[in-house]
Structure 1
Amino acid sequence: MMGLERLVLNLKTKVLKALKPKKLYDKVEKSESMRVEIRSKKARKLIEETLKIADSPKNKSYAF
Structure 2
Amino acid sequence: MVMMGIERLVGSLKSKLRSLKLKKPLYDKIEKSDSMRVEIRSRKARKLIEETLKVADSPKSRSVAF
Q: Which runs of 5+ in 2 are unaligned?
A: 1-13
Aligned-partner Cα distance in 2 for 1:52–1:17? 48
- DSSP 3-state at the match of 1:26: coil
TM-score normalised per structure 2? 0.63
Query: What SS does structure 2 have at the residue aligned with 1:23?
Result: coil
**Over residues 6-43 of structure 1, what are the superposed CA-to-partner deviations in whole Å (9 max), with x where a residue is unaligned?**
xxxxxx7x874532364111100000000000000000
State the identity as a percent.
Answer: 75
Structure 1 residue ranges, 4+ long, deviating more than 3 angstroms after superposition: 14-17
- Gap regions ≥5 residues in structure 1: 1-11
- Which of structures 1 and 2 has the bigger CA Rg? 2
TM-score (normalizing by structure 1)? 0.65
